[in-house]
A and B are shown apart, each in its own frame.
Chain A
Amino acid sequence: MAEATHHNSGHHSNTVRLLGRKITVEGGIYTVVFGALALLTVIEVLSAEFLKGAIHDAPSAAATLQAIKAIVLLGIAIIKSSLVIWFYMHLREEKPLIAVVILLPLLVATLSIMFLLAIPPLGYTL
């Protein structure tokens, strides 16, 4: 697309600065973000399979490994989600109000989940 080269500012630029180096690619930051999402997904799946094998091989450390697995995988998922929201949904260009609108229900949902998780499986007994 020839016109893309005419726009060299903001999110229309095909040139992106990454780790101190300038990279020129069709789609600019959007393509770089897609590459990051794909790479993170591969890392996520490989990590899950590796840790699944480790849990199988060392049942005595299963609880610890399962906790590590959950933290690592959820951490990657949160990074991927943040990339989509920040760049593809253009949150970085929006007013702070939009960030509040999206963060508030996330906060409420997280607190609710933590509260629900604190309830024992079979309920409290007197």
Chain B
Amino acid sequence: MAELTADSLHAVATHDDHGHISEDEHNSNMKLGLWLYLASEIVIFSIMIVGYIIFRINEEDIVAQAHDELGVALVTANTFVLLASSFFMVMGLRAMQQGNRSGMLRWIGLTALGGIVFLGGQYIEYSELAHLGIVLGFDDASAWSTFGMRFYAPTFFHGAHVFVGVLWALEVMRRGAKGRYDNNPIGIEMFGLYWHFVDVVWIMLFTLIYLV
């Protein structure tokens, strides 16, 4: 019989006879993978943000006029909705970690609802902006079109992330209802990381695009 050492005990703890890794290690790897994905997202969003910042510095009058047209009431309400959905998300994870499956489903459901309301608000905002003539305008270089390009690229890309997040939340609820996360809530934690990241991006976009 092989001699038991601290190293061999650690090996037993993290790998079974078939070389499978332990649950803790699996969870840790999953989270690292998602953090790396989020790191790549930071670079993508940064490109769009820097495009807006350069436009903001060079075209102060256009941006000031756009701010007057945009207003902050709707987007502030939308920001509160997204912040609240982030709170609902973390409460959902907390509920599952405490073994409260129905509580988790309730909180994640509210998270998805928050995402849907946010997208509804964004749709209303885009409709108002289109009415004002702030469009993408691929075929003209008017002031509004150049602003529209810089405005829609990051906000729509963010909105697309919210949409994916809503779908992911619904999938988490479907799996959660079947008891998939009763013993290991890593799936909820992964979705949570994504959703909070989307919230962080919006915190920056809200400040940079609507307030500064």
> Which residues of A are in contact with B by a Cβ distance under 8 Å?
1, 3-4, 6-7, 11-12, 27, 30-31, 33-34, 37-38, 41, 44-45, 48-49, 52, 69-70, 73-74, 76-77, 80-81, 84-85, 87-89, 94, 97-98, 101-102, 104-106, 108-109, 112-113, 116-117, 121
Q: Count contacts on B: residues with CB < 8 A to the other chain.
A: 48
CB distance from A87 to the nearest CB of B (A): 8
Please tell me if the beta carbons of A102 and B42 are within 8 angstroms of each other in the complex.
Answer: yes
Question: Given known contacts A38-B80, A73-B211, A80-B203, is B50 in contact with A101 (CB within 8 Å)?
Answer: no
CB distance from A5 to the nearest CB of B (A): 10
- A12: chain B residues within 8 A (beta carbon): 94, 97-98
The one of B35, B86, B89, B99 in contact with A102, judged by C-beta atoms closer than 8 angstroms, is B35
Please tell me if the beta carbons of A84 and B40 are within 8 angstroms of each other in the complex.
Answer: no
CB distance from B95 to the nearest CB of A (A): 7
How far is it, in angstroms, between the C-alpha of A73 and the C-alpha of B132 when the chains are bound?
27
Please tell me if the beta carbons of B95 and A41 are within 8 angstroms of each other in the complex.
Answer: no
Total A-B Cβ pairs within 8 A: 123
Please tell me if the beta carbons of B89 and A88 are within 8 angstroms of each other in the complex.
Answer: yes
Please tell me if the beta carbons of B72 and A77 are within 8 angstroms of each other in the complex.
Answer: no
How far is it, in angstroms, between the C-alpha of A49 and the C-alpha of B103 when the chains are bound?
39
6 intermolecular pairs with C-beta atoms under 8 Å apart: A38-B80, A41-B76, A74-B207, A84-B199, A117-B50, A117-B57
